[in-house]
Amino acid sequence: MAILEQIKDDVNGAMRAGEKERVGALRLVLSELQKAAKEGSDALSPEAELAVLRRERKRRLESAKAFRDGGRNDLADSEESEAELIGGYLPAEISDDELAALVAQAVRDSGAQSAKDMGTAMKQAMAAVGGRADGKRVSELVRAALQG
């Protein structure tokens, strides 16, 4: 079942259960998925659905950090719970050891030698990771591998 369909079913279930906060969060995510589908003028691929979910989770986490920095822990908690909800639809994150091994292999396969080759190495590494890790984590490891 596509993530879009799963979220629609979950919205209906949350509405029946009277979970207002969950319904609100799921509707926002559903809206973003539908907007992305409309912009693409056809059905979203599974990869595109995951990209939308990652983007929305990242937005929630960034908002939570900003709210915490501003002393609004109540709003930060709300954003973090929404990020956690969205994370439930994403595949499990890859472990640090497995990620390091994939990045090392990708750097070797790409033939990257220095920081100038960062783009080539990143492209290879992100393809190898297959969306199971945040780009920031991958970028840090690629940069470290290229610096020696």
* Domain map (residue ranges) of the chain: 3-87, 96-147
Give tens-digit pLDDT for 8-17: 999 999 999 9
Q: How far apart are CA 140 and CA 10, in angstroms?
A: 35
Give tens-digit pLDDT for 29-43: 999 998 988 887 566
What does DSSP assign to residue 134?
-
Write out the CATH class of domain 3-87. mainly alpha
Share of the chain above pLDDT 70, in %: 97
Give tens-digit pLDDT for 103-131: 888 888 888 888 888 888 888 888 888 77
> In this structure, which long-range contacts are made by residues 94-103, counting pairs with CB atoms below 8 Å and at least 24 apart in sequence?
94/129, 94/132, 94/133, 99/129, 99/133, 99/137, 99/138, 99/141, 100/141, 102/128, 102/129, 103/128, 103/129, 103/138, 103/141, 103/142, 103/145
Type of residue numbered 145: A
Write out the CATH class of domain 96-147. mainly alpha
Name the band, by pLDDT with cuts 50, 70 and 90, for residue 18: very high
Listed ranges 24-33, 90-99, 101-110; the one with the highest mean pLDDT: 24-33
Residue 143 has pLDDT above 70, yes or no: yes
Residue 52 in contact with residue 44, Cβ under 8 Å?
yes
